Amino acid sequence: MTKQQLFENIKKKQSFLCVGLDTDIKKIPPHLLREEDPVFAFNKAIIDATADYCTAYKPNSAFYESLGYKGQLSLEKTVNYIRRNYPDQFVIADAKRGDIGNTSEMYARAVFDNSGFDAVTVAPYMGEDSVKPFLGYPGKWVILLALTSNKGADDFQLTSGTDGERLFEKVLRKSQEWASDEEMMYVAGATQGKLFADIRKIAPDHFLLVPGVGAQGGSLAEVAKYGMNRQCGLLVNSSRQILYADPTERFAEAARREARKVSEEMAVYLRDV
Amino acid sequence: MTKQQLFENIKKKQSFLCVGLDTDIKKIPPHLLREEDPVFAFNKAIIDATADYCTAYKPNSAFYESLGYKGQLSLEKTVNYIRRNYPDQFVIADAKRGDIGNTSEMYARAVFDNSGFDAVTVAPYMGEDSVKPFLGYPGKWVILLALTSNKGADDFQLTSGTDGERLFEKVLRKSQEWASDEEMMYVAGATQGKLFADIRKIAPDHFLLVPGVGAQGGSLAEVAKYGMNRQCGLLVNSSRQILYADPTERFAEAARREARKVSEEMAVYLRDV
């Protein structure tokens, strides 16, 4: 998917919501455990319920890996289901990968060749040659960690270099030598509030994937205020707040209500774009 | 496995070799493709051939993920095979994981609860709360990326902070507030040569997992000279050089020869430990 196509989808839907599929088998409604593949059954219901109100889905690899090869199967079925039924959705593998070249090549093959993902989250610690193997797949995206939503972001990302540049700023600047805003996005945590203005100084035109709204406490209004650009430039993720809005058989309706609520707030921020 | 047990195994075997199971289905001898699970068949033969000469195995997650759920099955069978037949071997999930707390918990569950790994490699970019969920499993280890073997290590790991401390040094120092040398090791690339002396200034007693000898060009002699401590403190990985020493049906014998050759060199360096 191109940047322009993603922007068109956002305008059409009036939503830049990304639904995070952090599906925890211990949290899904108990009646689903009778299904052959409870995780897929849950995802399918969530996707059907929310697709009208979001532009992206982001399965979180860890939750599937924790179930061994069966989890991998559930994940593959989920991605195929989105691809087949909602081809306009942007599908992100939230995997935070990154390794030496020949290994990153294998990770890239896993998400882009074997699975139908549009994008993968990548950790920058190992530098250029750990990121490059994910680039160059036509229409596919790298979403590089810049400034994350968790408390631990302070430990290294916010430390300053001798040149006064903080590590997340160095990542934003340096990585623009590797790829343009047509194939790279950045992760910027919603909990970072006004730091979005600093991010936009270095990366004015990039899309940002923004976790941390909802359960983690970030403010959508603040993200929109400091982070939005002329092409929206935001995909704001919500996971737990939508997935587990209701613990009963009515979970999908509740998820739909939550997704609609978020997207209605987003529509307001999109008025001027 | 405790640190003391690992050291005992190294002394017994006279080897601190870790065989990296970066099994690429495109590189294994063609006759194995007739097997029901070619990747597992290859690994099994490699393990049986090399177990006398190594103290650790390190399956590289990417290579299995690139094959979808079938790869995950091959990986699980491989780990179970080592556990059952060679219980003294230290088994490392080379996965370079790291995410917000609730997600890292899932990754930890995947490698420690569901699979019988002794250790997992973790990326430090997201800080303390992304690493902590991997700690506290009795006898299990986190191996944190500090200074990696690839060229991209220059991009961020070697940049200096306002305090003159380079990022990899900050990671080494800061992470010692989170865990002791009884449950944390560090990745230090063999290609970094004399920087091992700098690493040992901050982390004198930790074990280091050292990739980059062999195909990547690092020198075992230099690693031993600058990196070894009183309890050896080194696990030196070799992957391609051993796995693909011979492309024919005699691949396992060739792998055994290569592993023996490396371990014989290691035995010399171990004389004074």
Three-class secondary structure of residue B235 per DSSP:
strand
Confidence at B192, pLDDT banded by 50, 70, 90: confident
A76 contacts B68 by C-beta, under 8 angstroms: yes
Interface confidence, given as ipTM, is 0.95
Contact B66 A114 (CB under 8 A): yes
For chain B, the domains span: 3-272
Q: What was the pLDDT predicted at B70?
A: 94
Q: What was the pLDDT predicted at B193?
A: 81
Lowest-confidence region among B30-34, B160-164, B171-175: B160-164
Each residue of B164-185: pLDDT tens digit? 899 999 999 999 999 999 999 9
Residue of A nearest to B149 (CA): A100
Residue B272 has pLDDT above 90, yes or no: no
Q: What was the pLDDT predicted at A217?
A: 82
Confidence at B260, pLDDT banded by 50, 70, 90: very high
Quick one: angle between helices A68-85 and A38-50, nearest 10?
A: 30
Contact A174 B164 (CB under 8 A): no
Each residue of B81-91: pLDDT tens digit? 999 999 999 99
Active-site hit among B11, B27, B96, B261: B96
Confidence at A155, pLDDT banded by 50, 70, 90: very high
Q: What residues does B3 pair with on adjacent strands?
A: none
What mean pLDDT, rounded, does chain A reach? 96
Residues in chain B with CB shorter than 8 Å from the CB of A126 are 96, 123, 145, 148, 150, 152-153, 157
Task: Of A75, A23, A21, give the one whose Cα is nearest residue A50.
Answer: A21
Q: What was the pLDDT predicted at B72?
A: 93
Q: What was the pLDDT predicted at B212?
A: 87
Active-site hit among A11, A96, A132, A140: A96
Cα gap A9→A7, rounded to integer Å: 5
CA distances from B100 to A209, B47, B97, B108 (A): 15, 35, 11, 12
Query: At A144, which helix (H) or strand (E)?
Result: strand A141-147
Preferred mutation among B75, B126, B159, B177 to probe A, highest tally of A CBs within 10 A: B126
Confidence at B194, pLDDT banded by 50, 70, 90: confident
What value does the mean pLDDT take over residues A52-60?
Answer: 98
Which residue of B69, B161, B171 is in closest CB contact with A161? B161
Contact A96 B99 (CB under 8 A): yes
Superfamily of the domain at B3-272: Aldolase class I (3.20.20.70)
| Residue A168 phi, psi dihedral angles, 5° rounding | -65, -30
User: What whole-number percentage of chain A has pLDDT above 70?
Assistant: 100
Q: What was the pLDDT predicted at A215?
A: 74
pTM for the model: 0.97
Q: Å from B218 to nearest chain A CA?
A: 14
User: What whole-number percentage of chain A has pLDDT above 90?
Assistant: 93
Cα gap B82→B117, rounded to integer Å: 10
| Residue A97 phi, psi dihedral angles, 5° rounding | -85, 175
Nearest 5°: the CA angle B111, A247, A54 is: 80
A96 noted as active-site residue: yes
What mean pLDDT, rounded, does chain B reach? 96
- Which tokens sit at A87? 């081809």
Q: Which amino acid is at A94?
A: D
Residues in chain A with CB shorter than 8 Å from the CB of B109 are 66
Which residue of B76, B123, B174 is in closest CB contact with A155? B174
